[in-house]
Structure 1
Amino acid sequence: MTDAPAKPPIGPRTRLCMSLAGRPGSFGSRFHNRLYERLGLDYVYKAFTTTDLPAAIGGVRALGIRGCAVSMPFKEAVIPLLDGLEGSAAAIDSVNTIVNDDGRLTGHNTDYSAIADLLDREGIDPATPFLLAGSGGMAKAVAAALRDRGHRDGTVVARNPVSGRALADLYGFAWAPDTVGRTAALLVNATPVGMAGADADRLAFPEAAVAAAEVVFDVVALPVETPLMRAAAALGRRRISGAEVAVLQALEQFVLYTGVRPDRAVVDEAAAYARSA
Structure 2
Amino acid sequence: MEKQSITGYQRKFSKVVIWGLRDQWHTHRFIHSSFYSTLRKLGFPCVWVEDLPDNCKYVKSGDLVIAVGEAAKYLPYNSNAFYCLHNLEVGWGDSEKVRKLQVFTKGVLGFKNVEKINKTTVYNHDDKTLYQAWGTNLLKSEFKEPVFSLRSPSVFWVGSVWNNELNQGNQNEINYLKSALKRYGVGFCRVSRVPDSLNSFLVRNSRVAPAIASGWQVSKGYLPCRLFKNISYGQLGFSNVREFELIFGDNDYFDRDISNLVDNVMSLGREKFVKNIIRQQEYIQDHTYESKIENIMNSFYM
- Common fold: TM-score over 0.5: no
TM-score, scaled relative to structure 1: 0.39
Higher relative contact order (CA closer than 8 Å, sequence separation 6+):
2
